[in-house]
Amino acid sequence: MVYISELQAKDVVSVSDGKRLGNIGDIDINLSTGKIEAIIISGSGKVLGFFGKDEEVSIPWNHIMKIGTDVILVKYPQAPQALIE
């Protein structure tokens, strides 16, 4: 069993370019099925924590390749699209 708090501590890394995307800030759960649909990566668009806005990136659950002890490897093309609300 894996706890959400354990997932949040792991770095999310793209297997396509090896870039660190960030850490899991939230998850998207389908309430009808009870399954996780996506992980939400919290961005760091702020300068010194003051200016700008945080962007969130949504990565579909089926794009997760491997959950390791320290990292989560995801199949995601180049720069991920920001989550549109």
Assigned domain for 42 exists: yes
d(CA 65, CA 74): 5
| Whole-number pLDDT of residue 78 | 56
What does the pLDDT look like over 2-45, one tens digit per residue?
A: 888 898 999 999 998 899 999 999 999 999 999 999 999 976 54
Assigned domain for 80 exists: no
State the number of CA atoms in the 13 A half-sphere of 62 facing the CB.
0
Assigned domain for 29 exists: yes
Domain that holds residue 45: 4-74
Assigned domain for 21 exists: yes
Burial class (CB in 10 A: 0-12, 13-18, 19+), 11: middle
CB atoms within 10 A of CB 54: 11
Q: Is the pLDDT of residue 47 over 80?
A: no
Bridge-based pairing of strands 64-67 and 71-74 is antiparallel
What tokens were used for 46? 């702020």
Assigned domain for 44 exists: yes
What CATH number has the domain bearing residue 61?
A: 2.30.30.240
Number of domains in the chain: 1
| Whole-number pLDDT of residue 50 | 54
